[in-house]
Amino acid sequence: MTSSAGQEPAVVRVNDNLELPWSPGMTVRDLLRQCRFTYSLITVTVNGQVIRREEYDTYPIPPGAEVRVIHLIAGG
């Protein structure tokens, strides 16, 4: 798939510093695997919407999405 201009392939931007090629059917889980995010305590947002952990396997990421993956850390 290409961008709306039809010139460049669609991408997904992650944490404002990484761009991944978008593919049809891409889910949050797919993105986490591609980025090798394996930490169990994370929060994911897609275009500003918080995605529940139980939706990671099914939540579709649209082309051009802005994704944030935040590691939750506790301590003092």
pLDDT of residue 75: 75
pLDDT of residue 73: 81
Judged on CB neighbours under 10 Å (0-12, 13-18, 19+), 44 is buried
pLDDT of residue 2: 54
Query: Nearest 5°: CA angle at 30, between 41 and 67?
Result: 65
* 22 pLDDT more than 60: yes
pLDDT of residue 34: 94
> Could you tell me which residue, 70 or 74, shows the higher pLDDT?
70
Residue given tokens 């709306």 in the structure block: 4
Average pLDDT over residues 68-74: 88
Query: Nearest 5°: CA angle at 21, between 10 and 16?
Result: 90
pLDDT of residue 50: 98
What pTM did the predictor assign?
Answer: 0.83
